[in-house]
Structure 1
Amino acid sequence: MQNLWDISPPVAPGSPVFPGDTPYQQQWTASISPACPVNVSALTLSPHVGAHADAPLHYDPQGQAIGAVDLSPYLGPCRVIHCIGRGPLVLWEHLAHAVQDLPPHLPPRVLVRTYQHMPVDRWDGDLAAYAPDTVERLAALGVTLIGIDTASIDPADSKTLDSHQTIRRLNLRVLENLVLDDVPEGDYELIALPLKLMTADASPVRAVLRSL
């Protein structure tokens, strides 16, 4: 029985980003040679490349940078729920089968799988997103972090970012670009800590799930 799932996509040149965002680039600033004992590189990338945690600063001009947020939402029990190919928005009816009728309804963290195979090598402008009402209902059940296997909890062409504004109002945290292809529906321990980037609007994470 597998007890650890790496749910982070590979990050390398060519990793997909939102159109107009900064792609991953790497340059070598030092190379092992008779005059140098080490390899050293310089990275240029958007903090939204690969699996990442959005900071409140990403969708609120007065919000916290990612290095200032509490880490507790990114570590602990979570539930993976499958709603593969259900449409452009994750509706409550897509999740209801995985929510118990009696308390406790859910762990504090919910990750949603929408892809049969997450496109780790290309941009998907038709990505699935959370409906704001679904976020509201999850929060009402005590959920403090939501995650998804797409690049955003809002539709790619949204200008109002209604689900981001819902998590802002309800003080939820979010993980995006997760790879849940091989993860059975069920409960796990989530470990997905953001870097302590004190002025950044997001942070890459190495997201993993561990069996309980």
Structure 2
Amino acid sequence: MKLYDITRELFSTAIYPGDPVPAAEPVNEIRKGDAFNLTRITLGTHSGTHMDAPWHFIPEGKTIEEITLEQTIGPCHVVALEGKVTREMLEPVVPKGCERLLIQGEIELTCEGAGYLAEKRLQLLGVEGMNVGSEETCTEIHRTLLGTGMVILENLDMSKAAPGQYVLVAAPLRMKGMDGSPVRAVLMEGENLHLTPKCETASASGNGRKLVLFDL
């Protein structure tokens, strides 16, 4: 099995205009005589490689802790596109039944392209840019996509992964009531990697949530 880390380093990546700047401040330091190192970090919910929850743009949408593991972990299709991505560009490259789609390249999803992906009922869409659309279409496109219950990954780095089929692992932090979260996104590839997930109820927590497992 081969793993591709498609996450950008948090403190060195570009920052979307107006977003909080990630920062780290030592609280305890061994070099100053403390028994351990401890650091305070400050950041935004959309810092670095991150996930947009529907509540980011949809008032009645799910917040980040309501997003299931099944939605963020599973079979994924990676395609390479450039420029303004229209419906006509997406139709031949999005496989039937695709639930998770990642788009490589410097793209700007058009409103009609977003409408097509909404029709496909994707669970997850990921892009390498800091915004899935342009500044002018940002609100409309986010509402179109997130309004279906889809989640969006932004600011990915897929430079080392070729287009094709993978298993994606991109779980957000479990933070109640939040509109988004940084993620550590990973693509898994391998001949013995079964792309069909099997789910088992996690009984230890007693909260009815499910743990997604894969046969390796």
TM class by smaller structure: 0.7 to 0.9
CA contact (8 A) 1:79 1:106 kept: no
Give the deviation of 1:169 after TM superposition. 2.5
CA contact (8 A) 2:53 2:146 kept: no
Q: Where do 1:103-114 residues align within 5 Å?
A: 105-114=96-105
Unaligned runs of 5+ in 1: 116-127
The whole-number CA distance in structure 2 between the counterparts of 1:159 and 1:112 is 18
1:154 lines up with 2:153 in the alignment = no
Cα separation, partners in 2 of 1:28 and 1:9, compared to 1, 3 Å: same
1:92 lines up with 2:87 in the alignment = yes
CA contact (8 A) 1:51 1:178 kept: yes
The whole-number CA distance in structure 2 between the counterparts of 1:190 and 1:28 is 33
Amino acid in structure 2 at the alignment position of 1:69: I
The Cα RMSD (Å) is: 2.0
CA contact (8 A) 1:27 1:43 kept: yes
CA contact (8 A) 1:16 1:23 kept: no
SS at match of 1:81: strand
The whole-number CA distance in structure 2 between the counterparts of 1:96 and 1:58 is 27
CA contact (8 A) 1:24 1:43 kept: yes
The whole-number CA distance in structure 1 between the counterparts of 2:66 and 2:94 is 32
Point out which structure has higher relative CO (alpha carbons under 8 A, 6+ apart).
1
Report the counterpart of residue 171 of structure 2 in structure 1: 193
The whole-number CA distance in structure 2 between the counterparts of 1:30 and 1:109 is 41
The whole-number CA distance in structure 1 between the counterparts of 2:4 and 2:100 is 16
1:76 lines up with 2:74 in the alignment = yes
Give the deviation of 1:193 after TM superposition. 0.1
The whole-number CA distance in structure 2 between the counterparts of 1:63 and 1:171 is 7
Amino acid in structure 2 at the alignment position of 1:11: L
More strand by share: 2
Amino acid in structure 1 at the alignment position of 2:41: L
Report the counterpart of residue 213 of structure 2 in structure 1: none
TM value normalised by structure 2? 0.80
Amino acid in structure 1 at the alignment position of 2:174: K
Report the counterpart of residue 29 of structure 1 in structure 2: 27
Q: Where do 1:166-181 residues align within 5 Å?
A: 166-181=144-159
Percent identity at matched positions?
30
CA contact (8 A) 1:15 1:23 kept: no
Give the deviation of 1:26 after TM superposition. 0.3
CA contact (8 A) 2:71 2:123 kept: yes
Cα separation, partners in 2 of 1:135 and 1:159, compared to 1, 3 Å: closer
Cα separation, partners in 2 of 1:82 and 1:19, compared to 1, 3 Å: same
Report the counterpart of residue 135 of structure 1 in structure 2: 114
TM value normalised by structure 1? 0.81
CA contact (8 A) 2:62 2:149 kept: no
Amino acid in structure 2 at the alignment position of 1:153: V
Amino acid in structure 1 at the alignment position of 2:132: I
The whole-number CA distance in structure 1 between the counterparts of 2:25 and 2:184 is 22
Cα separation, partners in 2 of 1:57 and 1:190, compared to 1, 3 Å: same
Amino acid in structure 2 at the alignment position of 1:129: E
The whole-number CA distance in structure 1 between the counterparts of 2:35 and 2:138 is 51
**Deviations along 1:42-86, whole A, 9 cap, x unmatched?**
0011121111111122112333321122222111001000003xx
Cα separation, partners in 2 of 1:16 and 1:99, compared to 1, 3 Å: closer
Unaligned runs of 5+ in 2: 194-216
